[in-house]
C-alpha cells in the first residue's frame, strides 16, 4: 500500500534515521528521511508533510534553528525536536516560544515517540479542518455581501422605476379626469341617466387610481428616506380635529359616532403636520370603513414617564383575527376576499402610517378583538427639538 508521506525526519546520523523508519514502518503514515537540512526543506515542499521531526545537534544548523526556519516558511507544520542531550533551557525556550510542539529525548521511548507523532498529525488535521471551515465561511460571507449589493442595486432600480412610472401616469390621468368632468358638465351636449352613471363609475376609478399613485409615490419616498419631515411644535389635538371635522361631515347618514377623548395635559410636540394628517386620515377612514354600529373614538394620553403621547383610534367594528394582525402593516395587504373589500382602498395606508410614525421616532401597533373592534395605537415622542430635517 502506498502511504501518503506525512512525516519527515532530519538527523545527521544515518543509523538513527534507519532505526526510526524501521520502527514506524507499520504506522498509517508514510515517512521520509534525510541528513541534510536543505534537502529537508525541499522535501517539505514536495510532500504533504504534516510533522517535521528534527535532531538538535547537527553540523550545519541546530535543530531549533532549523525548526524556526520551518515555522517561518510553513507555520502550520507541526514540529518535534529530538535531542540526544538534555538542555533544559533550550527545551523550555523552544516549547514556550512555540518553536516546537513536542520535545523528545534520545534514546527515545518508542510509545512516547509514536504518541507524539500521532498527536501532532491529529493536531495538524484539526487546525486544517478549522481553517477550511473558516475559509469556507469567509467565502460565503463574501458571496452574501456580493449578493446583498446586487439586491440593493435591484431594489434601487425598482424604486426609481416605480416612482418614474407613477409620475408618468399622473399627467394622462389628469387629462382623463378633466375630459370626464367636461362631458359630465354638459359641455359636449346633454346626457341621459345611464351615461351619467357610467361616467360616475369612470370618475370613481380615476380617483382611485390617483390615490393609488399618490400612495405609491409617498411610500417609495418614505422608504427611500427622500421625504424630509417639516417638523414644527404644535398641538396634536388641532390636527386630529381637522381630520374629524372633514370625516364627520361625510358621516351623517351612517348612524355611527366619531368622537374624541383628549387628555388635558398633552404638551406640544414636534411633528410634520401634513404627514400626521395623512396618518389620522387613514386610521380614521379605516375605522369608519370597518364599523357598522357604534362608532370611532380618538383617545390621547400623555405618558409622562415615557416622554410620549399615545394616540389610539378605537372602533367598535369588525375587528381583526389575531393571525392577521402582523400582516396589516405590509404593503398591499387587505383582509377578506377581494369581493368583500370596500372600494377605494389601496392596501398601502397602514404601511404609510407605519413609515411616518417611525420617522417621527414613535411606535405603532394594533390591538383587536375579532367581532368587537380594534384599536390602532401609536406614539409621538415629546422632544425639545423645534425643527429638523430627517
- Name the one range near ligand ADP by CB under 6 A: 37-45, 115-123, 127-135, 327-335: 327-335
Task: State which of residues 63, 295, 317, 362 lies at the interface with ligand ADP (CB under 6 A).
Answer: 317
C-alpha cell at 135: 475559509
**CA dist 330 → 103, 299, 333, 341, 355 (Å):** 66, 25, 6, 17, 11
Closest by CA to 185, choosing from 209, 203, 210, is 203
Answer yes or no whether residue 297 interacts with ligand ADP by CB under 6 A: no
347 binds, among ligand ADP, Mg ion, none (CB under 5 to 8 A by kind): ligand ADP
3-state secondary structure of 174: helix
Min dist. Cβ of residue 214 to ligand ADP (A): 12
Beta-carbon count within 10 A of 302 CB: 18
Which residues, including other chains, have CB under 8 Å from residue 348's CB and lie 6 or more apart? 212, 215, 216, 219, 331, 332
Q: Per DSSP, which regions of 161-239 are E strands?
A: 231-234
318 binds, among ligand ADP, Mg ion, none (CB under 5 to 8 A by kind): ligand ADP
Nearer residue to ligand ADP within complex by CB, 8 or 353: 353
3-state secondary structure of 142: helix
- Name the one range near ligand ADP by CB under 6 A: 9-17, 52-60, 262-270, 326-334: 326-334
Min dist. Cβ of residue 141 to ligand ADP (A): 37
Please state at what angle helix 193-223 crosses helix 110-184, rounded to 10 degrees: 150
Nearer residue to ligand ADP within complex by CB, 105 or 312: 312
Nearer residue to Mg ion within complex by CB, 81 or 279: 279
Task: State which of residues 282, 300, 316, 377 lies at the interface with Mg ion (CB under 5 A).
Answer: 282
- Name the one range near ligand ADP by CB under 6 A: 115-123, 194-202, 223-231, 283-291: 283-291
**Residue 291 CA neighbour count, 13 Å, CB half:** 27
Q: Per DSSP, which regions of the chain are E strands?
A: 5-10, 30-34, 51-55, 78-83, 102-105, 231-234, 257-261, 269-272, 295-303, 308-315, 364-369, 373-381
Sketch the per residue contact string, 149 through 188, with ligand ADP: x for CB under 6 A, - otherwise: ----------------------------------------
Nearer residue to Mg ion within complex by CB, 5 or 335: 335
Looking only at residues 314 through 373 of this chain, which bind Mg ion when binding is defined by CB under 5 A? 349
Min dist. Cβ of residue 250 to ligand ADP (A): 15
Q: What ranges in 6-109 are assigned the alpha helix state H?
A: 14-23, 37-46, 63-73, 88-96
Nearer residue to ligand ADP within complex by CB, 183 or 366: 366
> How many Å is the Cα radius of gyration of the chain?
40
Answer yes or no whether residue 37 interacts with Mg ion by CB under 5 A: no
CA 24 to chain centroid, in Å, comes to 55
Task: Kindly state the number of chain residues that form the binding site for ligand ADP, as judged by CB under 6 A.
Answer: 19
Min dist. Cβ of residue 231 to ligand ADP (A): 24
258 binds, among ligand ADP, Mg ion, none (CB under 5 to 8 A by kind): none
C-alpha cell at 142: 463574501
CA geometry: angle 318, 353, 203, nearest 5 deg: 75
Nearer residue to ligand ADP within complex by CB, 89 or 338: 338
Looking only at residues 342 through 361 of this chain, which bind ligand ADP when binding is defined by CB under 6 A? 345-350
- Which residues of this protein are in contact with ligand ADP, per CB under 6 A? 282, 286-287, 290, 315, 317-318, 320, 328, 333-335, 345-350, 374
- Which residues of this protein are in contact with Mg ion, per CB under 5 A? 282, 286, 349
Amino acid at each position: 500500500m502506498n502511504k501518503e508521506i506525512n512525516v519527515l525526519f532530519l538527523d545527521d546520523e544515518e543509523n538513527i534515521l534507519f532505526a526510526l523508519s524501521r520502527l514506524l514502518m507499520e504506522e498509517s503514515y508514510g515517512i521520509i528521511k534525510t541528513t541534510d537540512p536543505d534537502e529537508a526543506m525541499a522535501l517539505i515542499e514536495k510532500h504533504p508533510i504534516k510533522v517535521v521531526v528534527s535532531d538538535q545537534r547537527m553540523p550545519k544548523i541546530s535543530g531549533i534553528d532549523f525548526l524556526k526556519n520551518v515555522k517561518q516558511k510553513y507555520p502550520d507544520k507541526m514540529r518535534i525536536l529530538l535531542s540526544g542531550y538534555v538542555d533544559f533551557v533550550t527545551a523550555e525556550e523552544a516549547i514556550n516560544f512555540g518553536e516546537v510542539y513536542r520535545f523528545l529525548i534520545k534514546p527515545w521511548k518508542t510509545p512516547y515517540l509514536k504518541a507524539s507523532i500521532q498527536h501532532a498529525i491529529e493536531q495538524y488535521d484539526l487546525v486544517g479542518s478549522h481553517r477550511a471551515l473558516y475559509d469556507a465561511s469567509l467565502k460565503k460571507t463574501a458571496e452574501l455581501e456580493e449578493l446583498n449589493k446586487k439586491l440593493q442595486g435591484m431594489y434601487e432600480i425598482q424604486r426609481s422605476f416605480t416612482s418614474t412610472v407613477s409620475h408618468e401616469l399622473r399627467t394622462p390621468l389628469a387629462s382623463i379626469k378633466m375630459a370626464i368632468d367636461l362631458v359630465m358638465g354638459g359641455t359636449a351636449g346633454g346626457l341621459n341617466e345611464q351615461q351619467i352613471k357610467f361616467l360616475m363609475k369612470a370618475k370613481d376609478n380615476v380617483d382611485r387610481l390617483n390615490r393609488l399613485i399618490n400612495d405609491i409615490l409617498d411610500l417609495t419616498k418614505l422608504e427611500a428616506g427622500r421625504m424630509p419631515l417639516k417638523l414644527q411644535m404644535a398641538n396634536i389635538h388641532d390636527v386630529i380635529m381637522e381630520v374629524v371635522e372633514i370625516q364627520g361631515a361625510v358621516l351623517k347618514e351612517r348612524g355611527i359616532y366619531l368622537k374624541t377623548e383628549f387628555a388635558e395635559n398633552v404638551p406640544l410636540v414636534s411633528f410634520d403636520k401634513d404627514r400626521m394628517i395623512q396618518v389620522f386620515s387613514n386610521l380614521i377612514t379605516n375605522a369608519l370603513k370597518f364599523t357598522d354600529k357604534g362608532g370611532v373614538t380618538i383617545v390621547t394620553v400623555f405618558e409622562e414617564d415615557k416622554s410620549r403621547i399615545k394616540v389610539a383610534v378605537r372602533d367598535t367594528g369588525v375587528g381583526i383575527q389575531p393571525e392577521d394582525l402582523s400582516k396589516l402593516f405590509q404593503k398591499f395587504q387587505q383582509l377578506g376576499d377581494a369581493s368583500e373589500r370596500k372600494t377605494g382602498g389601496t392596501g398601502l395606508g397602514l404601511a404609510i402610517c407605519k413609515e411616518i410614525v417611525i420617522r417621527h421616532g414613535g411606535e405603532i401597533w394594533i390591538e383587536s378583538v375579532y367581532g368587537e373592534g380594534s384599536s390602532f395605537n401609536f406614539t409621538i415622542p415629546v422632544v425639545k427639538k423645534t425643527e429638523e430635517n430627517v
